[in-house]
Amino acid sequence: MKLSGLPYLLKEGFKNIWNNRMMSLASVVVLMSCLIITGTAALISVNVQTLIAGIGDDNEITVYLRPDYSDVDSIALSGSLSAIPNVESCHFRSRTEVLQSYQETLGDNIYAAMQGDGNPFGNEYKIRLHDLSLYEETVRQINALSGVDKVSDRSDIAEKLTRLDYFVTVTGIWVVLVLGIVTLFIIANTIKMTMYARRFEISIMKSVGATNAFVRIPFMVEAMAIGLFSGLIASLALIALYEPIRQAASGIIGMIQNATLPLQNIWLPTLLALSGSGLLIGLLGGMLSVTRYLNKEGGAILGT
């Protein structure tokens, strides 16, 4: 887009304001696209993290005690379980409660027969871990306690999501980094082109004794306006598309609906982050090209 417009722009130069407007529009489009991609990556990452946090909450491990282990000993075990560093909380569930939860499945007759000494279940503890990745080691510690029959498996989904989160975070950082640099160069280039188009005015400014700070202002304003405008449009686009996409995703995976962030939680951070990044990129890009231009080509006044 920019390359094909270059010869025409160079010829028309500063005389054609409309041309400059088109150039700015082109850079807004590219910058906006980059910000949308970056924003999307960030939103996915944030949602995956929320999802993991939600699953982590449900991620209780059950510690089954031996059926012959006495109730008194079972209750006393809560102290030893809590003493394990990675155990966040433990909650006792008596064999009677366990049997009750199976009442419907078993049918009234069998349920009645299993009351009292006929109860085949042992007492249980529902426990939560601080750090799921230390699961193996914690289970070993629990198994070493007397009365423990076995420990339930951890949720597979949590494990996969933990890996996905890592992937999304690492990819996200790279996307932000690469696109940040790309957009920086795009805006620096746009400003360079504008300065080249207005080199005539710049040379007159310098010939009458305008300071570099003064010459710089209009270009910095332009760069920052392009950045801010791109950021605003990008965030509005993401905000508009967020709910429909979340709905569509929840159609595929049922659990997403409840475990992801609703629009009202993300619209303000998205708006601020993208507009701020746009502005910052504009500022840096503008500074980059303005300073370089003024120190090099911008010195010519008399010509030949």
Residues binding other proteins (CB under 8 A): 14-15, 17, 200-201, 203-212, 214-215, 295, 299-304
> What whole-number distance in Å separates Cα of residue 176 and Cα of residue 38?
6
Nearer residue to other proteins within complex by CB, 219 or 229:
219
87-93 β-sheet, strand order: 87-93, 124-129, 61-65, 148-151
What's the closest the beta carbon of residue 292 comes to other proteins, in angstroms? 14
What's the closest the beta carbon of residue 229 comes to other proteins, in angstroms? 24
Nearer residue to other proteins within complex by CB, 134 or 301:
301
Q: Is 131 helix (H, G, I), strand (E, B) or coil?
A: coil
Nearer residue to other proteins within complex by CB, 106 or 204:
204
Residue 121 sits at the vertex; the CA angle it makes with 116 and 126, to the nearest 5 degrees, is 120
What's the closest the beta carbon of residue 283 comes to other proteins, in angstroms? 21
> What whole-number distance in Å separates Cα of residue 234 and Cα of residue 42?
13
DSSP letters of 152-218? PPPPHHHHHHHHHHHHHHHHHHHHHHHHHHHHHHHHHHHHHHHHHHTHHHHHHHHHTT--HHHHHHH
Nearer residue to other proteins within complex by CB, 258 or 295:
295
What's the closest the beta carbon of residue 209 comes to other proteins, in angstroms? 4
What's the closest the beta carbon of residue 25 comes to other proteins, in angstroms? 20
Nearer residue to other proteins within complex by CB, 158 or 202:
202
